Amino acid sequence: MYDRKLRMYDEAHSPEHLEEMSNEKNVNTGKFLTDAHFFSYFIQMKKIRELNPKTVLEIGPGEGFIQQYMKQLGIAYDTMDIISESNPTYLSKLEDFDANNAMLYDVVCSFQMLEHSDYKFFKSNLMKMKELSKKYVFISLPYSCYKFSFGINIQLGQDRRISRKVEFIVPTNKPNRKYRKQYVDEFPWAVHYFEIGRKGFSKKKIFRDMKDAGLNILDTFHSENAFHYFILAEKVVE
């Protein structure tokens, strides 16, 4: 029996809760405007600005938080999404998109989105992002991990601060997530087909796939929310 009030296996939420927190006809619900997400938004904005792009394409813009900020800076910021209500530049799934139908962008990015497609599409999706990019591909993926953090933060007046922090991040090595079929059919956008740190999905495997897709990794780091793992890469010019 498919009990919509029940959260089972590794499902992040019960179907009833998912329905309450997310309505595809109202994409700006604020469901992702949380402390945990805001740390990652800050990293996305900071890192993209450091790359000094004139044009950016984001795959899966969510509620458009980063898009609005970048547009205020005068950056041409296009999006790709499967939800028409978000008014994307390209209404398509990445794996179905013909890269020949788009311009090239200084930065092509996707945050906490690629895991919503079967892993068999991961490398080809990376290759498609590379095809759409003039130089940079910037992504984040879920990292199933345990984080141990110890620190001290002393503020001395308005602008002076002393901070020391030590942290350890260890993969959980849990089995891959399991979902009820009805759950997958009803909420395909909430399904994680893979997460770094689970069995069979090591960082080494992800890095190898990125290299095979023609990408050279420049930087990797966690957000303050350790579940969000960022990878900045540049396309290898053949």
| Helix residue spans in 52-121 (DSSP H) | 65-72
What is the predicted pLDDT for the residue at 27? Answer: 45
| Total-model pTM | 0.88
Q: At what angle do helices 65-72 and 35-50 cross, to 10 degrees?
A: 40
Only one residue has tokens 């997530």, namely 177
Which amino acid type is present at position 164?
Answer: R
CA dist 89 and 186 (Å) reads 25
Delimit the domains of the chain by residue range.
Answer: 40-235
pLDDT, tens digit, 9 for 90 and up, residues 143-164:
999 999 888 888 887 778 888 8
Q: Which CATH superfamily is domain 40-235 in?
A: Vaccinia Virus protein VP39 (3.40.50.150)
d(CA 53, CA 212): 25
